[in-house]
Amino acid sequence: MKFKAFVTENGVSLLDRRFLPALDKMGKICHLFLTREHAFFLHNLLTTSDGIQSIAQFRKQALFDDYRISSQNEDRIAFAFDISLLLRAVRSSVSIISSESGGANRLQVKLVKKLPPNSTQPMPFLTFETKGYKSAVIQDVPISKPLSRDQLLQLQAALDAAQDLPQTLVQVPDLNRLQNFVDRMKHVGDLLNVSISKYGDLHLQISTTLITLGAEFRKLLVVGDKAQAPDEDRDLSAQTRSERAILMGDAQNVQVSVRHFSKSLQCHLAKPDCAFYGIAPQGACLTVIFQFFIPGTRQTDKSISLHCRLPVLDPGSS
């Protein structure tokens, strides 16, 4: 089992300033899944838990060059690690690269087995090596034992299952504002009802015995199945409008944890260019998809993708 690559300048900045800070918010422990063509950062895919799943996928060229991988599992390697340690290692490598003038510095990453101090058992590490003209700095990030063949197949299956797209997706108008709102909403209750309609309506509501608090965003951009909003809907309240749309089969409704919803919005740290919410078929989960553009264009950068799946607490009406 071997893995060795150089992290490109663009790769360093993607990880250091955008993706690792965002993924750090999703949970402490993350799986890195490396294949011949892709690198995935995965949260909560193996543990059949009630946590939020996040899937960040990079084509190898987006992060690395001189990428070499080999293993007996069709050249696939996966392991778990503490994301804050990885972030620290990348951060300090960045500071070394930028402090040494010359430009001959490259950040190499490789999988190694080493004998840690005061131990007789060799342990696996992901090692970051920065070589300059005058110095070299090596940082070892401890990782879990690489996944066994069975676990790897399980992870691959979970990853394949997590790729299904909702039929209707609506674009979130202003991520920061929505985040702000949801963070304040957290004080009022724990369960969030989310309904999404083919008309482009996103309706969020917390309802307890003492209070009902909701927000409705209308006329959002719809990707996938669309429908024309009925004219008589215009003067109705947000609640009635959602209920009618659900009855007519034009909307779906699920209940998720406010905490998860707020976490999913933290992905704005990865600086996506837009975000879409949708409900997976049969109300299996609430999906949020972040889109990244090729810098300076409005074209989707297909080498990077990020989406989260929020577990549904109550199947709702779907």
Partner 1 sequence: MSSSAIEADTSDLVCQLDNVQGIVDALSTVRWKRHQDAVVELSEHGVVLIVEETGCLQAKVYLQKELFIRYEYTAQGRPRFGLSLGLFVDCLNTFSVPGHSSTIEIRYPGPDMQLLIKSADSLDDCIYAEIRTRIPETISWDYNFEPAGSTPLSFTVKSAALKEAIDDLEWPGSSIQIILKPVPPSVTFRGEGHGDLQIDFMYYANTDLLIAFHCDHQVSYRYKYKFLRATTSNIPSSVTKDNRGSKLTIGRGGMLKVQHLVSVARPSTSHQHIDSAGYQQPSRIAYIEFFVKPEEDEDTVND
Q: In this structure, what token pair is assigned to residue 14?
A: 């993607």
Nearer to partner 1, 3 or 276 (CB): 276
Of the listed pieces 62-70, 142-150, 173-181, 280-288, which binds partner 1 according to CB under 8 A?
173-181
CB 132 within 8 A of CB 104: yes
Q: Min. distance of Cβ 240 from partner 1 in angstroms?
A: 8
CB 260 within 8 A of CB 52: yes
Q: Is 218 in the site for partner 1 (CB under 8 A)?
A: yes
Q: Is 214 in the site for partner 1 (CB under 8 A)?
A: yes
* Binds partner 1 by CB under 8 A, chosen from 85, 123, 138, 188: 188
Nearer to partner 1, 97 or 222 (CB): 222
* Binds partner 1 by CB under 8 A, chosen from 58, 64, 125, 217: 217
Q: Min. distance of Cβ 206 from partner 1 in angstroms?
A: 9
CB 219 within 8 A of CB 200: yes
Bridge partners of 244, per DSSP, are: none
Q: Is 184 in the site for partner 1 (CB under 8 A)?
A: yes
* Binds partner 1 by CB under 8 A, chosen from 61, 95, 148, 212: 212
Count of chain residues binding partner 1 (CB under 8 A): 24
Q: Is 194 in the site for partner 1 (CB under 8 A)?
A: no
Task: Work out the angle between the directed axes of helices 175-185 and 258-265 (0-180°, nearest 10).
Answer: 150
Chain residues 230-249 in contact with partner 1, contact rule CB under 8 A? 235-239
Q: Min. distance of Cβ 56 from partner 1 in angstroms?
A: 29
The C-alpha atoms of residue 193 and residue 15 are separated, in whole angstroms, by: 33
Angle (CA) 74-76-79 rounded to 5° is 150
DSSP classification of residue 27? -
The C-alpha atoms of residue 84 and residue 81 are separated, in whole angstroms, by: 9
Q: Is 311 in the site for partner 1 (CB under 8 A)?
A: no
Bridge partners of 311, per DSSP, are: 285
Q: What is the torsional sign of CA 95, 101, 103, 107? A: negative
Q: Min. distance of Cβ 244 from partner 1 in angstroms?
A: 14
Chain residues 103-132 in contact with partner 1, contact rule CB under 8 A? none
Q: Is 211 in the site for partner 1 (CB under 8 A)?
A: yes
CB 141 within 8 A of CB 85: yes
Nearer to partner 1, 185 or 308 (CB): 185
**Edge-to-edge strands, sheet with 304-311:** 77-82, 29-34, 38-43, 53-59, 304-311, 285-291, 274-279, 168-171, 222-224
Residues binding partner 1 (CB under 8 A) = 173, 177, 180-181, 184-185, 187-188, 209-219, 235-239
